Structure 1
Amino acid sequence: MAQITAAMVKQLREMTDSPMMECKKALVEADGDIEKAVDVLRKMGVAKAVKRAGRDTNEGTVATYISEDGKLGAILELTCETDFVGTNPKFTGFAADLAKVVAENDPADVEALKACKMGDATVADELTEMIHVIGENMKVARFKRVSVESGALASYIHLGGKLGDIVSFGFANDATATADEFKNFAHDVAMQVAASAPVAARREDVPADVVAHEKAIYMAQAAESGKPEFIQEKMAVGKLEKFYKECVLTEQEFIKDSSTTIAELAKGVSKAVSDDVQILGFERFAFGEE
Structure 2
Amino acid sequence: MEITASMVKELREKTGAGMMDCKKALQETSGDMEKAIDVLREKGLSKAAKKADRIAAEGLIGVEVSADYKKAALVEINSETDFVAKNEEFQQLVKDVTNLVLEKAPATLEELFALQLNGQTVQEELTAKISKIGENMNIRRFERLEVENGRLISYVHGAGKIVSIVKLETSSQDAKVEELGKDVAMQVAAMNPKYISEKDVDQEYLNHEREVLKQQAINENNELPEGKRKPEEIVLKMLEGRLKKELKEVCLLDQAFVKEAKKSVGEVVAETAKELGADITVAQIARFEVGEGIEKKQENFAEEVAKQMGN
TM-score with structure 2 length normalisation? 0.84
- Equivalent pair of 1:13/1:20 in contact (CA under 8 Å): yes
* Identity among equivalent pairs (%): 40
The amino acid across from 1:143 in the alignment is: F
Cα distance, 1:265 vs structure 2: 0.7
Deviations 1:152-182 (A, max 9, x none): 11111212211112111112x1xx2x42211
Q: Which residue in the other structure is 1:248 paired with?
A: 251
Q: Counterparts of 2:84 and 2:273 in 1: how far apart (Å)? A: 42
Change over 3 Å in CA distance of 1:4–1:81 after alignment to 2 = closer
- Equivalent pair of 1:85/1:91 in contact (CA under 8 Å): yes
Q: Which residue in the other structure is 1:219 paired with?
A: 214
Cα distance, 1:202 vs structure 2: 1.4
Q: Which residue in the other structure is 1:208 paired with?
A: 203
| 1:153 counterpart = 2:149 | no
TM-score with structure 1 length normalisation? 0.90
Q: Which residue in the other structure is 2:194 paired with?
A: 199
Q: Which residue in the other structure is 2:269 paired with?
A: 266
Larger Cα Rg: Structure 1 or Structure 2? 2
Deviations 1:196-228 (A, max 9, x none): 111111112222211111111121122232422
Unmatched 5+ stretches in structure 2:
222-228, 294-311
- Equivalent pair of 1:198/1:248 in contact (CA under 8 Å): yes
| 1:278 counterpart = 2:281 | yes
Q: What is the RMSD of the two structures over their aligned residues, measured on CA atoms?
A: 2.0
Unmatched 5+ stretches in structure 1:
none
| 1:52 counterpart = 2:52 | yes
Kindly indicate whether structure 1 or structure 2 has the higher relative contact order, using CA contacts under 8 Å at least 6 residues apart: 2
Q: Counterparts of 2:92 and 2:124 in 1: how far apart (Å)? A: 16
- Equivalent pair of 2:63/2:74 in contact (CA under 8 Å): yes
SS at match of 1:241: helix
- Equivalent pair of 1:87/1:160 in contact (CA under 8 Å): no
Q: Counterparts of 2:123 and 2:25 in 1: how far apart (Å)? A: 47
SS at match of 2:292: coil
Cα distance, 1:130 vs structure 2: 4.2
Change over 3 Å in CA distance of 1:88–1:179 after alignment to 2 = farther
Change over 3 Å in CA distance of 1:137–1:38 after alignment to 2 = closer
Q: Counterparts of 2:41 and 2:109 in 1: how far apart (Å)? A: 38
**Count of matched residue positions in the alignment of Structure 1 and Structure 2:** 284
Q: Which residue in the other structure is 2:307 paired with?
A: none
Deviations 1:42-95 (A, max 9, x none): 1111212212244464x3100111112212111101123432231234422331
